[in-house]
Amino acid sequence: MKYSLVAAVVAAFASSVSAADAVKGAAEGFAKGVTGGGNAAPVYPSTTAELISYLGDSSARVIVLTKTFDFTGTEGKVTSAGCSPWGTGSGCQIAINQNGWCDREQPKAPKVSSITYDKAGILGMTVGSNKSLIGQGSKGVIKGKGIRIVSNAKNIIVQNVRFTDINPEYVWGGDAITVDGGDLIWIDHVTTDLIARQHIVLGNGASNRVTISNCEINGATGWSATCDGHHYWGLYLTGSNDLVTLKDNYIHHTSGRSPKVAGNTLVHAVNNYFYANSGHAFEVNPGGKVVAEGNVFQNVVQAMQPNLGGQMFASAAAGTNAQCKQYLGHDCEMNAYGTSGTLTGAAAGILSSFSGKNVASASAASSVKNVVNTAGYGKI
């Protein structure tokens, strides 16, 4: 009898822990249906080595972060040459001469003979298929290293995690989240700040169906390529036939690439709050297709760079927005602007690209400013 009582208590406790340390909600948009680690029993890494192992193995896993995992110094330091393409004054990023980038792309930039940075930040941790990486409360922090989803890994959820302090002084010092060949990926309630280069990058390989939602892309920094405290390398979305839902995100204190879209990528940007951008938000290059609705641009110098060759549907005409209903299931919502440049483009032909796909819902732009209170880690 005593044994049965103890067993029952233990079982009840285990059940409550699993319920608490589980993915919240479900993905909207293109990554709808992603399950990550599913019903796998949660695991709680205690060391950086354990975290790397859990992320990269072949088992379905729910990996719960209960503390800060600090990778700074775990792989040593690197000293190499670099350059200063954007100025040598205070507040400017220095570029690492990675693969001869300074010599090839910036031959006239002032050379820097010796810079020292943390090696762990250069390459993110590999994430295998069928994984959920979630933070517990506001404890899930990864410092000094990002993650990379490659080699056709699929069915992955990253939720309620902060990535921070990845060699922020140095371009080419590392990215927070890299996807380069994958499918069914949901990045939700994630905060990225003090990143060397891209906060989130979808590389040239096909990333297929991705949803980025409720995230805070915080570009406030002491080192930037524009030397003004605003990070330039925000979101780089390129690839082969990629489908990206960008919804309910707070993207602020950037100066460019917020996002950059290229490489035959279709982006549905809906109900995002773009704030305090000293340069441009959208950069839509040839091959890039963007439908932007219900977004707010506040204190954004350019909502988009003009004449880059990509396609944008962001019409301000209600009659034109009604064309969305056939393919998106609803009339497109108007975008809103405050002390900001505006989006242009009425490429209605790209709407048919949504046919038969999972499409996120949209709300009026008037509700979007509350995103500042709901986006990012620790707010779920």
* Residues 327, 354: Cα–Cα separation, whole Å: 6
Encode the chain (380 residues) as per-residue pLDDT tens digits.
444 444 443 343 343 344 689 999 999 999 999 999 999 999 999 999 999 999 999 999 999 999 999 999 999 999 999 999 999 999 999 999 999 999 999 999 999 999 999 999 999 999 999 999 999 999 999 999 999 999 999 999 999 999 999 999 999 999 999 999 999 999 999 999 999 999 999 999 999 999 999 999 999 999 999 999 999 999 999 988 899 999 999 999 999 999 999 999 999 999 999 999 999 999 999 999 999 999 999 999 999 999 999 999 997 776 788 889 999 999 999 999 999 999 999 999 999 999 999 999 999 999 999 999 999 999 99
Contacts of 99 (CB under 8 A, 6+ apart): none
Give the whole-angstrom CA distance, residue 307 versus residue 353.
22
What are the CA-CA distances from residue 8 to residues 12, 19, 20, 22 (Å)?
6, 16, 18, 21
Catalytic annotation on 257?
Answer: yes
Q: How far apart are CA 104 and CA 5, in angstroms?
A: 70
| Nearest CA among 212, 233, 217 for reference residue 167 | 233
pTM above 0.75, yes or no: yes
**List 61, 162, 197, 257, catalytic entry:** 257
Residue 160 near residue 190, CB atoms below 8 Å: yes
- Owner of token pair 């064309």: 323
Q: What tokens appear for 257 in the block?
A: 């690439």
Dihedral sign from CA coordinates of 356, 357, 358, 361 = negative
Backbone torsions φ then ψ of 319, nearest 5 degrees: -60, -40
* Structural domains in the chain, sorted by start: 29-73+121-374 (2.160.20.10)
